Amino acid sequence: MALYEYKCVAAPKKTKSFKGVRSHEDLFAAVIAEVMNDMAAKDWEYLRAESLPCEEKSGLTRRVEAYQSVLVFRRKIVAEQQFFEVPPTRQIELHDVPEDKTEHDVIMSPPNAASNITSINTDMQEADEPATQAGVLGILRNRKARLMQDQGGEYPDHMKLAGE
């Protein structure tokens, strides 16, 4: 059993001028023949013409049913040939990203001291001291405390633990 691929093309609604063609019927036939010849050049075989109902919007709330004419073409699918599916160009590689521990290794000095930020461990291991606040909130408070220290401002009450 042969497998086919189908393609629908909108049937032309307007004619255009052709040399030596005068009547409206002949102009319309020439436009149809031109579309069919273009598709035949791309290995598509004409199958039939269809007029199908299509609901169109007319105004804000009104809908009108109109009929659209299409030309249906087909072509045989060659053994194991796939159409309309593009295989991926390359395989996506997964990378193991090490956890960023820089926020945990920073010690904040009080606002009165000189602004030195030193690292506890240079090998990026967890600090031995327990963090006062875990998670994203603790990281954000430490970052805010560093910014306040760099600007030389005083810490608000809720930031004093993060800055010390």
Q: What is the mean pLDDT of residues 44-71?
A: 93
Q: What is the pTM of this model?
A: 0.46
The whole-number pLDDT of residue 121 equals 47
Q: Which of 156, 160, 105, 97 is nearest to 129 (CA)?
A: 105
The whole-number pLDDT of residue 144 equals 80
Burial class (CB in 10 A: 0-12, 13-18, 19+), 114: exposed
CA-based R_g, the chain, Å: 36
Q: What is the mean pLDDT of residues 45-52?
A: 95
Per domain, the residue ranges of the chain are 4-76, 106-163
Amino acid in the structure at residue 34: E
Res 111 pLDDT > 90: no
Residue whose pair of structure tokens reads 């401002």 in the numeric block: 153
**pLDDT category, 138, cuts 50, 70, 90?**
confident
Res 10 pLDDT > 90: yes
